[in-house]
Structure 1
Amino acid sequence: MTNEEFRVALEGPGQKVSDSAELLLGYLDWYREALLRKIDGLPDALLRAPLEPVGWSPLGLVQHLGWVERRWLRWGFAAEDVLPRVPGGTAVEWTVRDDTPTADVLAAYAHEVTLGRAVIAGADLASPSRVGGRFPTEEEAPPLGRILFHLLQEYARHVGQLDVVRELIDGTTGE
């Protein structure tokens, strides 16, 4: 390979961004968008079909990440009085019911992302989580930066898994 082939722009926020908050939020948004890019073009039947051996469908992953956004930002950081988990547990959280339209799952995910962004708008990375939701005491309440870093790693892991799942489904590979 030539040196030219190794000169690739970094993905995510701008090449010159160095502010920690801007990097963290920029990469989180990049992964949110990557999630949707990786399911783009899949017919509804393949979006909904659980793939073995992973046991979940691409749309099920989108649904799960909507709940993750809710749990960590609204219930966790903001201590909102929201249902943090889907009734029925983890298996239900990853399974899209046959009577639930794909558009509804995508809209619910987008809604949670929008609400999560609103919760953290203007907050500093050092801002502590409010007490009363996910965190019952001040000692247990992490700062926003810690929560965002957790979200980033969760997205990175799941979007990487989705990349493999998409390749197994139809051979499409991601960035």
Structure 2
Amino acid sequence: MQQPPEQVPALLDGPTVNVCDVHELLLGYLEWYREALMRKLAGLSDDQLRTPVEPLGWAPLGLVQHLGWVERRWMRWGFAAEDVVAYPPGEDAAEWTVAAGTSTAEVMAAYQAEVTATNSLVGAATLSDRARLGGRFKTPDQAPSLGRILFHLLQEYARHVGQLDVARELIDGETGE
């Protein structure tokens, strides 16, 4: 029996089925995963956001902080060759651990600032544009195209949003789509 139209689930997530331009697809899916990240955090208390989930060993807010650093490394330091701090002091552990004196709002604002910077950089570029030299990439043969970098960001988000599904289920039993 066919469901009424308002109850038929979407066949695809991300950009609409009419989108076929690769640039638009990559940016559309990147935005979809950013929104999925926020959907999966919705409803968690500040304590739940900040408490490491066992046996995973990281807190949901730490994941947000990590993704902000990922965007910074790949887009600002990598693609744009900006002179920015690419890793926090303390490397990987510090990237995933929110300091006790850092508020949730500060972590979210820092993450959003990196998303805004990424959107600004990709708005003025084509997928074939190569990363500038001097930041993450020192020689032309090391410098990937924007398309390659965006694809990398997508796989980072896909993996981590999936991990957040597991964390959320362990925290309060909520499951994702």
Scaled to the shorter chain, the TM-score interval is: over 0.9
Give the structure 2 partner of residue 78 of structure 1: 80
Q: In the alignment, is residue 142 of structure 1 matched against residue 144 of structure 2?
A: yes
Identity of aligned residues (%): 64
Select between 119-128 and 24-33 the one with higher mean Cα deviation. 119-128
Letter in 1 for 2:81: A
CA distance in 1, matches of 2:148, 2:60: 27
Rounded Cα–Cα distance in structure 2 between residues aligned with 1:154 and 1:84: 16
2:31 corresponds to which residue? 29
Q: 1:56, 1:76 → 2: CA distance? A: 26
Unaligned runs of 5+ in 2: none
Equivalent residue number for residue 95 of structure 2: 93
Report SS of the residue matched to 1:135: coil
Unaligned runs of 5+ residues in structure 1 are none
In 1, Cα distance between equivalents of 2:83 and 2:9: 48
- Cα 1:7–1:32 change in 2 (3 A) is closer
The equivalent position to 1:129 in structure 2, one of 106, 128, 131, is 131
Runs of 4+ in 1 over 4 A off after TM superposition: 2-7
Q: For 1:133 and 1:24, how far apart are their aligned partners in 2?
A: 23
Q: Which residue of 2 aligns with 1:114?
A: 116
Offset of residue 45 of structure 1: 0.5
Q: Measure how far apart 1:119 and its partner are.
A: 1.4
TM-score by length of 2: 0.94
Among 54, 57, 62, which residue is 1:55 paired with? 57
Residue number in structure 1 paired with 2:105: 103
Between 1:6-15 and 1:111-120, the stretch displaced more is 6-15
What is the SS of the residue equivalent to 2:113? helix
Task: Report the equivalent of 1:8.
Answer: 10
Which AA in structure 1 matches 2:108? L
The CA deviation at 1:122 is 2.3
Q: 1:78 is aligned with what amino acid?
A: A
Aligned residue type for 2:50:
R
Aligned residues: 174
